Structure 1
């Protein structure tokens, strides 16, 4: 279990995350929603320890994450992989090498950049790409792919870390609706078929309702809703989004069942 206990982060006296206490069971898919500036991204960065908390604790299976330093912190970041809005790929490198960089924590920077990966790791990378419908792009430069394809490469790269938790920070914010659907379907399959916990920051309300079993709503750094997606009423959503409610609602994909299946990848194989 991952637990946030009174987690706080202040920037120049302003609390971006304000006393958040949450627990996440293994294997959950959680959508974190809220207007811009609600504290969603800051909270995920705290969990991954890309940012240090001002107060409170982060604990996972007895490990006090908020106290980790050095190699122990690097090991945590391998267990808790992060996907970003802007993909974080090296455009001039081929897709396969970008995915293999997910093994950075196993080799170190110099070895990884020299391409000294084992045959077993190359097989892992190709399998991850195949599961995401991208095996045919393995030798292409990453910057030749569409945005949706690049985000799936970023997901494959994260999977090479063999994580227990996958943090996705606005993974579809820069994508068109069809590619956004493809990426969200990939994250949901990973969650359901591999049992990886997924915490996904989302700006749009219906996307969270369609893909996530649990929703955490944030406003001004605080949690104002935490419960099943079906339990989130429009009244509660208005409290979360405030004046941005109409924008957040209407930008979203209305239904996974009605949306066209574009670039849909084959189902992921269950974890060994």
Structure 2
């Protein structure tokens, strides 16, 4: 279980994350919602240790994440895969190589840098691409793919790390509704089939309602809601988004997802940590 205890992160006089305490049970798919600047991205960066923990503790099992450094920190970042809004692929390399780069956290660095991958790595990368319906694009340059395809390549790369957790920071923010659905479908399938915990920052609450069993709402660095989608009342939404409530709804995304997701994730019964 991933545990956050009174985690606070300051940047100068700004408190980006303010005394956040959360538990994430294994196998959960959690959507983190809130306005821009609410602290969502900083929260994920603290968990992955792309930012150092200021105050409080982050613990995974017996591991004090905030105290890790060197080889142990690299191992944690492999175990806790990160997916970014801007994909972070190497455009000049082919898709298969981009996926195999996911091995850099768990394999010797020099062979990976020189693209000396084992036959097992190549086979696993091909399997990951096949799962995401991208095997036919394996030898294309990454920059020839659409944004949605590139994001699915990034997910395949994360799978190469054999993670226990996947952190996705606004993975569909720059995508059209169809590609957003494909990316969220992929994340949910991985969550359910592989029992991998997925924590996903989402700009709109529609995607969180459709795909996540649990939603965490943040405002001004604090957690102001933690519950199931059907517990999101209008007053809670107002508390999370304030005057930007209308911006939290993307009707085109909702209609696209509704066509393939008639039963909201919140209707499924799943234990929620508080």
Is 1:58 aligned to residue 58 of structure 2? yes
State the partner residue of 1:49.
49
Distance 1:252 1:47 in 2: 32
Distance 1:178 1:259 in 2: 11
State the partner residue of 2:114.
114
Question: Structure 1 stretches (4+) deviating beyond 6 angstroms?
Answer: none
State the partner residue of 1:265.
none
Distance 2:227 2:106 in 1: 37
How many Å apart are 1:259 and its aligned residue?
Answer: 5.5
3-state SS of 2:37 partner: coil
User: What does the per-residue CA deviation read over 1:238-267, in whole Å, with 9 as the maximum and x for residues that have no partner?
Assistant: 11011111011135622533259xxxxxxx
Distance 1:123 1:234 in 2: 48
Contact 2:78 2:106 in 1 (8 A): no
State the partner residue of 1:164.
164
State the partner residue of 2:250.
250
State the partner residue of 1:80.
80
Aligned residues, how many? 260
How many Å apart are 1:73 and its aligned residue?
Answer: 0.5
Distance 1:143 1:114 in 2: 20
Which runs of 5 or more residues in structure 1 are unaligned? 261-272
State the partner residue of 2:265.
none
State the partner residue of 1:227.
227
Contact 1:205 1:252 in 2 (8 A): no
Distance 1:239 1:257 in 2: 26
State the partner residue of 1:173.
173
Distance 1:197 1:203 in 2: 20
TM-score by length of 2: 0.93
Go from structure 1 to structure 2 and tell me whether the alpha carbon gap of 1:79 and 1:252 turns closer, same or farther (over 3 Å shift).
farther
Distance 1:185 1:249 in 2: 19
TM-score by length of 1: 0.93
User: What does the per-residue CA deviation read over 1:164-187, in whole Å, with 9 as the maximum and x for residues that have no partner?
Assistant: 000000000010111000000000
Contact 2:75 2:106 in 1 (8 A): no
State the partner residue of 2:154.
154
User: What does the per-residue CA deviation read over 1:54-100, in whole Å, with 9 as the maximum and x for residues that have no partner?
Assistant: 10000000210011111000000011000000000000000000000
State the partner residue of 2:264.
none
Distance 2:190 2:106 in 1: 22
State the partner residue of 1:26.
26
Distance 1:28 1:177 in 2: 24
3-state SS of 2:106 partner: helix
Distance 2:252 2:66 in 1: 34
How many Å apart are 1:230 and its aligned residue?
Answer: 1.4
State the partner residue of 1:238.
238
Aligned-CA RMSD value: 1.2
